[in-house]
A = this chain, B = another copy of it.
Amino acid sequence: MHFTSAQRIDDGVLEREFTLGEIPGTLWTPESAAPGEPGPAAPAPLILMAHNNGLPKRDARLMARARHTAAHGYAVATIDAAGCGDRPRSAAEEQARTDLRRAMQAGEPVDEIFESMIGPLVEKAVPDWRTTLDALLALPEIGGPVGYSGWTALGIRLAATEPRIAAAGLFAGGYVPRAQREEARQVTVPLLFLLQWDDEGNPRQRALDLFDAFGSRQRTLHANLGGHTGTPWFEVEDGGRFFTRHLK
């Protein structure tokens, strides 16, 4: 893991860009023992923050969430996994995106296109996130336990197969491949599942069915009125309290 830049931002947070082989990432860590208190930071619990559908790790809303979360005493990391964000795409991936745009404009069904696009994206992203998790937990400033926040399909795969994930906050707005809908029953860690009630591109009933399918006994759904990008800011704070209950 090579740090390529570092800057101190508000609220006593250190923001560092890194590369790990071909994987570019960002790590936010608290600089003091507790928010507003002097003294060196103890090893912090870690939250992996993954953006839905391969948007770039520099997305403004993701960065605001990450900075806020780090200011409350967490190490927060995000990466552009293979095929996501600014990483190069194969000709097949570009073709799927072209097909998707065309089908959406024509009002045609998009499930099979999403399936062919998101299914492989999850498969390719998982090893990059595992590699990143290994490297992060080797840093002295990070002590675990580990939470996951964001992209539901990837979160299901990681939470179902990676015992180091202790709690997950998942955002329902995004296509979940059939394999991960099946795998949801194998997820048993505490869950906070966040749904936008009027999400234009993501059927509400499918999200409710997925919430119902998880194996976790401690499982909470938060639904707010509004479209895909309308999640109220107080849900970031609610997410912080969810992680405090399970990671601290």
Q: Which residue numbers of A lie inside 8 Å of B, CB to CB? A: 197, 208, 211-212, 216-225, 232, 234, 237-238, 241, 245
Q: Closest chain B residue to A191 by CB distance? A: B225
Q: What is the bound-complex CA distance between A211 and B221, given in angstroms?
A: 13
Let me know if A221 and B223 touch, CB within 8 A: yes
Q: What is the distance, in angstroms, from A182's C-beta to the closest C-beta of chain B?
A: 20
| A111 to B234 alpha-carbon distance, docked (Å) | 37
Measured CB to CB, the nearest residue on chain B to A214 is B225
Contacts of A212 in B (CB 8 A): 197
Interface of A is mostly: mixed
Decide: A219 near B225, CB < 8 A? Known: A234-B241, A234-B245, A241-B234.
yes
CB-contact partner of A208 in B208, B216, B225, B232, under 8 A: B208
Q: How far is the CB of A185 from chain B (nearest CB, A)?
A: 13
* Complex contact B223–A220 (CB within 8 A): yes
Can you give 12 contacting A-B residue pairs, CB < 8 Å?
A197-B219, A197-B221, A208-B208, A220-B222, A220-B223, A221-B221, A221-B223, A222-B222, A223-B223, A234-B241, A234-B245, A238-B238
